[in-house]
Amino acid sequence: MLAAPNGRTRCGAEGRDETEGGRSGPKPLCGRGEGGARWRRRRRCRGRGRLRAAAMWPCGGRRQRRFGGAAVLLGVLWLLARRFNWSELIPMRLWGRTLGLQTENSQFLLEGMPFRIFGGSMHYFRVPREYWEDRMLKMKACGLNTLTTYVPWNLHEQTRGKFDFTQDLDLEAFLSLAAKNGLWVILRPGPYICSEWDLGGLPSWLLQDPEMQLRTTYKGFTEAVDAYFDHLMPIVVPLQYKKGGPIIAVQVENEYGSYAKDPNYMAYVKRALLSRGIVELLMTSDNKNGLSFGLVEGALATVNFQKLEPGVLKYLDTVQRDQPKMVMEYWTGWFDNWGGPHYVFDADDYDAVLTEAGDYTSKFFKLRQLFSAIIGQPLPLPPMIESKASYGAILLHQYISLWDVLPSLIQPFKSEFPVNMENLHLNDSSGQSYGYVLYETVIFGGGHLHSRDHVRDRAQVFVNTMYVGELDYNTVELSLPEGQGFRQLRLLVENRGRVNYGLALNEQRKGLIGDVFLNKTPLRNFKIYSLEMKPDFMKSLQQVAGWSAVPDYFVGPAFFRGRLWIEHQPQDTFLKLQGWEKGVVFVNGHNLGRYWKIGPQETLYLPGPWLQKGNNEIVIFEERTAGRIIQSVDIPYLGRTQYVD
């Protein structure tokens, strides 16, 4: 992905390992086999052929013959230029598109002509719609001609059976905009996408089935995939190359060779695509270790890596011979872990092309220089970057305790046993995907509380409203203070996110996934409050009575709110939460994400399109210690930097 936040984001690329012009090694983000020079020779040969035909005209002078031959040559070149120039194409001119993207020995062909792929990833669901075109123009200015994107199932079908392809999820508009801006598309529809995305893009409601086997031909999974593809494919099929659209290739699943639990699964996904009208070149995508296990007949295998190591592309040649060598993912960032440093790599090896806010990095200009030399013609000028604003200090002047919100805003579920987040009866029986769940029960006395490792992922423990401690993967037991009479034991459980990669996808249920014991007796008879904090919840929070002035010192959990007044056209900014401990920030109902004082990240990116002239409401859910102000600054603070070789 070109716009890179803090996770392991990627810049898709196609490359080769043949020697060109005395230089050996891969060309990052460049795949052409050996076709570029051959294409130019072929065009000149065709021109000479037409000129020879012109010389055989029976009448007219030499000047007429030269003029006629030159006109024919110019016409041929004009047609070729228009055929491969998306900015000029409209459906009425899309005649003669029959062959699509093909492979021939070591090169790609498009409509029978050698074709280079200069690709970069841009994920529409990670960029505000208002900035889609800006990022695409920057891709063009970098020298790219192809955009790759995933399709996140868990955003398009958040509630089972209800599909959303509108606003920031308008895939058709995104793909059409790519075509308008002269970019071909390699579509990566999953169903699993990895993408450093919650559960690899799979909907959490799949985990309601206790026997669920994700990414296999298990009936419960394939039935859900079929229903999803039945809605997705009618959107993308008309946008394929052979039907006049920008999609030149479609990827079958994603990195399945690293999972490989079902030998029949990849063939199933391939059939699911073909049977619904996919006609373009199919591809697979795996790291070196997974290449041989992720193959499916009829699909071109491509490779992913962080750094080119000796033998990677040669190994790809042993998996499939006489095919172009293509790097689908040349990773451009890596994981930052809570409490760790912010990792930075040298731009000559490994770095993002754009920042999360769309600003250029040194990598952009290095690649632009490289691609310009390969292409042999000037590239478009890079667009101006968006201005960033520093709106200064923002006072959070009101607060309301979570305990005061519960009676008026949230109707609890009652259950004898603890229920995990995904199996709560809400969202049309699709359960809860994100956020927090509060489990409340009555105890008599204190003693030894033991989670038996059934907390996913972190629980703050309260007796009545008094904070006692935390339970997580590392801390599984606490001592509860003794007290008189019956008291409320409350466990506020945070879902920190489901893993996106690896063999543990089926074990990603959140909340309390089993019994918690007090003095070796399992707790029973719960009231369970869902705190998913969706936009409707945040909107209703505004109307709750009980908001009051923030005292000099207050300990959460609580909601805090303030207002940012903007006089002129809103601009991008970054919110810095120095003095706050841990929580989530919402601006005008948009969830900006988590903050945590342990870092490394110290600011949250706030896109200008999410702001408005005049009043902008900021709401913070703080788990523990709150500050009084937050700062709007014009540069990001990503924490203590550690350079990696």
Catalytic residues: 255, 329
In this structure, the number of other CB atoms found within 10 A of the CB of residue 99 comes to 13
Task: State the Cα torsion 222-224-225-228 to the nearest 10°.
Answer: 160
| Cβ 148 vs Cβ 326: under 8 Å | no
In this structure, the number of other CB atoms found within 10 A of the CB of residue 568 comes to 7
* Opening angle at CA 605, ends 134 and 617, nearest 5: 110
Find the helix or strand (DSSP H, E) in which 42 lies.
helix 35-55
- Alpha-carbon gap, residue 369 to 457, rounded angstroms: 46
Token digits of residue 48: 């000479």
- Can you say whether residue 412 is alpha, beta or left, with left for phi > 0 and alpha for psi between -120 and 50 degrees? beta
- Give the dihedral sign, CA 359/637/400/422: positive
* Opening angle at CA 447, ends 443 and 452, nearest 5: 90
Contacts of 550 (CB under 8 A, 6+ apart): 396, 397, 398, 399, 560, 626, 628
Q: What are phi and psi of 303, to 5 degrees?
A: -120, 150
Token digits of residue 185: 């598309």
- Alpha-carbon gap, residue 16 to 24, rounded angstroms: 9
Say if strands 247-251 and 184-188 run parallel, antiparallel, or are unpaired: parallel
SS3 labels along 178-238:
HHHCCCEEEEECCCCCCCCCHHHHCCHHHHHCCCCCCCCCCHHHHHHHHHHHHHHHHHHHH
